[in-house]
Amino acid sequence: MRFYEYESKALFARHGLPTGAGSLAQTAEQARAAAAQIGGPVVVKSQVLSGGRMKAGAVQFADTPEAAARQFEAVWPIRVNGEQPRAVLVEAKSAVAHEFFASVTWDGRRKLPVLLFSDMGGIDIEEVAAQHPAHLSRTHFSTLLPLTERSAKEAVAAVGISGGDLNRLTPIVLRLAQLFLDCDLTLAEINPLAKLADGSFLALDGHVEMEAEARGAQQALLAELGIGEDETRQARPPTDFEREGARLNAADHRGVAGNVVEFDGDLGLVIGAGGGSLTLFDAVRRHGGRPANYCEIGGNPSVRKTRNLTRLILGKPGVGKIAVMMNVVSNTRVDIVARGVILGCLDAGRDPAEAIAIFRIPGSWEEEGFRILEKYGVEFCDRSVSMFEAAGRAVAKLGGAGA
């Protein structure tokens, strides 16, 4: 889950990292007041989660409070990758002598956190890595041993920095690494990390991401930053349909019948599990089908949970039929899922035989499940029909219905 720049900087400040004076504005008047309080040239920056705001023109400079108000008016309507800004950050413009880059992330290959440091900040770091590899250092550090200055010092020194700069940068990089570990982050990045004309350092921009698994452990911090429990902070905000799916899934702790993502097609998908859902979604699209949603069933959910998910999907405008499909299941039970989807159809006022295009879930308790499906006249298949083939049947059926 991503943080806005202003949240990232609040986190930096909390951990003793140097950030500039600034405040948020949601009106031109607030922007003017913020600039007046700073008293000097300012930068006006749109607060969005997606990248590329500079290119979109959503970062502007202003020398006076009046100019700041005008720049607010210019920046506020700009959608960056379709995203509406949450606010605009008005910050003092700094006299920058040099720009550095400091970042901490996970290296899944080495299975350790890695410090990335460069003396070529402000530009795309992938480009530095490709064009100027000597200017980018990678320093792994232990998660078991205490984190000490050594790792930070080596990261900075590795790109040829010595003297006073090395000694000023080391504690900054160390604090960034500590912040990364303490807050269960997957990314803690300062770019640019500016050296000012007076020799001090300042985080001009920040990019922080926290792992979703840590939401519980980091509750207090998230509350302090004002991040709501229903904010998924993915690439786009959740739709009402997705919110309802999450609510239904959370209402019952047994298994998973959720992780709903909305699409605009006509074929509702009641699919699972993690890998199976990815496989089946691909298969439906490969057959020319248009999925109305993505979802995951797994870990043997209760009948009620599958029922609610089915009703939600069938109730989505434009959904003609649903396809109920999974890989060969081990701990999820075929009969329990069968009961859930049939009840969901009945709830939605639909005949299961007509609403369910295909039921393809082989495995645990399949004989029992198939008996239920037979009774309701639902078309089903066992493992002799592949996931790909089952998806094809579902797509064909929907086409045949003239939906």
Partner 1 sequence: MPGTFIEVKVDAATAANPDLARQLRESCPVDIFAQREDGQLRIVEENLDECVLCDLCKKIGPKGAVQVIKLYE
Partner 2 sequence: MSILISRDTTFIVQGITGREAVNLVRENLDYGARIVGGVTPGRAGREIYGVPVHDCVRDICQQRGAPDGSVVCVPPRFTRDAVFEAIENGIRLIVIVTENIPRRQVAQMVELAALRGARIIGPNCLGLIAPGEAKMGGIGGPAANTRQAYRKGSIGVMSRSGGMTTEIASTLSAAGLGQSTCISIGGDAIVGSTYAELMPLFEADAQTEAIAIYSEPGGRMEAELAAWVSEQKSRLPVVAFMAGRFMDEMRGMRFGHAGTIVEGVEDTTAQKIRRMEAAGISVAERIEEIPDLLRRRLAERPTEK
Binding site for partner 2 (CB under 8 A): 50, 106, 108-109, 111-113, 126, 142-144, 181, 184, 186, 211-214, 217, 234-236, 259, 261, 272-279, 281-283, 285-286, 294, 296, 298, 326-331, 362-364, 383-384, 386-389
What residue 211 binds from partner 1, partner 2, none (CB within 5 to 8 A, per partner kind)?
A: partner 2
Contact 44, 38 (CB under 8 A): no
Least Cα distance to 76 among 66, 67, 86 occurs for 86
Is 371 near partner 1 (CB under 8 A)? Answer: yes
Residues in the chain: 403
Question: Which of 29/213 has CB closer to partner 2?
Answer: 213
Query: Dihedral (C-alpha) 121, 122, 126, 129: value to the nearest 10 degrees?
Result: -20
Is 339 near partner 1 (CB under 8 A)? Answer: yes
Is 355 near partner 1 (CB under 8 A)? Answer: no
* Site stretch for partner 1 (CB under 8 A), options 60-68, 94-102, 208-216, 370-378: 370-378
* Site stretch for partner 1 (CB under 8 A), options 21-29, 197-205, 236-244, 332-340: 332-340
ω into residue 390 within 30 of 0, thus cis? Answer: no
Residues in region 245-304 near partner 1 by CB under 8 A: 302-304
Write down the least CB distance from residue 249 to partner 2, Å: 14
What residue 113 binds from partner 1, partner 2, none (CB within 5 to 8 A, per partner kind)?
A: partner 2
Of the candidate residues 48, 260, 284, 342, the single one contacting partner 1 (CB under 8 A): 342
Helix (H, G, I), strand (E, B) or coil at 178: helix
Residue 254 φ/ψ, nearest 5 degrees? -80, 115
* Site stretch for partner 1 (CB under 8 A), options 109-117, 152-160, 273-281, 330-338: 330-338
Element (H, E) at 68: helix 65-75
Write down the least CB distance from residue 341 to partner 1, Å: 12
Q: How far apart (Å, rounded) are the C-alpha atoms in residues 44 and 48?
A: 13
Q: How far apart (Å, rounded) are the C-alpha atoms in residues 53 and 47?
A: 9
Write down the least CB distance from residue 219 to partner 2, Å: 13
Is 363 near partner 1 (CB under 8 A)? Answer: no
Residue 13 φ/ψ, nearest 5 degrees? -60, -40
Element (H, E) at 355: helix 352-355
Extended beta strands in 80-184, E state: 88-92, 96-107, 112-118, 136-140
Residues in region 62-91 near partner 1 by CB under 8 A: none
Is 345 near partner 1 (CB under 8 A)? Answer: no
Tokens of 242: 């997705």
Tokens of 149: 């200055």
Write down the least CB distance from residue 332 to partner 1, Å: 12
Question: Which of 238/352 has CB closer to partner 2?
Answer: 238
Residue that is written with structure tokens 């298994």 in the block: 255
CB atoms within 10 A of CB 395: 24
Of the candidate residues 9, 195, 333, 360, the single one contacting partner 1 (CB under 8 A): 333
Tokens of 172: 């900054």
Write down the least CB distance from residue 402 to partner 1, Å: 30
Of the candidate residues 1, 346, 348, 396, the single one contacting partner 1 (CB under 8 A): 346
Question: Which of 241/281 has CB closer to partner 2?
Answer: 281
Of the candidate residues 34, 43, 336, 337, the single one contacting partner 1 (CB under 8 A): 336
Write down the least CB distance from residue 243 to partner 1, Å: 25
Edge-first strand listing for the sheet containing 59-62 = 22-25, 88-92, 42-46, 59-62
Q: How far apart (Å, rounded) are the C-alpha atoms in residues 346 and 61?
A: 60
Q: How far apart (Å, rounded) are the C-alpha atoms in residues 32 and 333?
A: 61
What residue 368 binds from partner 1, partner 2, none (CB within 5 to 8 A, per partner kind)?
A: partner 1
Contact 219, 239 (CB under 8 A): no
Write down the least CB distance from residue 211 to partner 2, Å: 6
Residue 228 φ/ψ, nearest 5 degrees? -70, 155
Question: Which of 200/386 has CB closer to partner 2?
Answer: 386
Question: Which of 209/368 has CB closer to partner 1?
Answer: 368
Give the interface with partner 1 as residue ranges (CB under 8 A): 302-304, 333, 335-336, 339, 342-343, 346, 368, 371-372, 375-376
